[in-house]
Amino acid sequence: MDLPQVSSQPPKKRRRGSNWSLNETLLLIELYKQRAHIIRKKPYDVGFYKPAIIKAWEEIASLLGQHPSKFKRSVKECRKRWCTVQTTAKTNLHKGQQGLTLGKNIFSI
């Protein structure tokens, strides 16, 4: 019975990408807004076409790269950043709504 070979080299570490700047994030949001009618379609919606959604994300990544600041981001990075922006916005909105009432019923005052 052969035993598996153990590599003497440590596993390769994943390289971390550069942080997104505020301008880069704002441009991503603007480009997303222009294509939201395509990207936000669900499989059960009329006119759903997955290649169109993929193409829209490819356009966003390409336009980020054409910006004078030369933001070089992949489609995967753009989609991940968009998810992060959405999650952060929802969290901040939820925290803001809690803070407005301070956990009390304001109508009982």
pLDDT tens-digit series, residues 40-80:
988 887 878 888 999 999 999 999 989 887 778 999 999 99
Please count the structural domains in the chain.
1
Residue 43 lies in a domain: yes
Sequence-distant (6+) residues with CB within 8 A of 23 are 69
Instruction: Provide the pLDDT for residue 109.
Output: 43
Residue 28 lies in a domain: no
Domain carrying residue 72: 37-100
36 vs 38: CA distance, rounded Å: 5
Indicate whether 108 pLDDT > 50.
no
Residue 92 lies in a domain: yes
Residue 2 lies in a domain: no
Reported as a pLDDT band with limits 50, 70 and 90, residue 13 is confident
DSSP 8-state assignment for residue 21: P
pTM for the complete prediction?
0.71
Residue 72 lies in a domain: yes
Q: Which of 97, 107, 98, 53 is nearest to 79 (CA)?
A: 53
Residue 70 lies in a domain: yes
Residue 107 lies in a domain: no
Mean pLDDT of 2-25: 78
From residue 63, alpha-carbon distances to 14, 19, 55, 56 in Å are: 26, 18, 12, 11
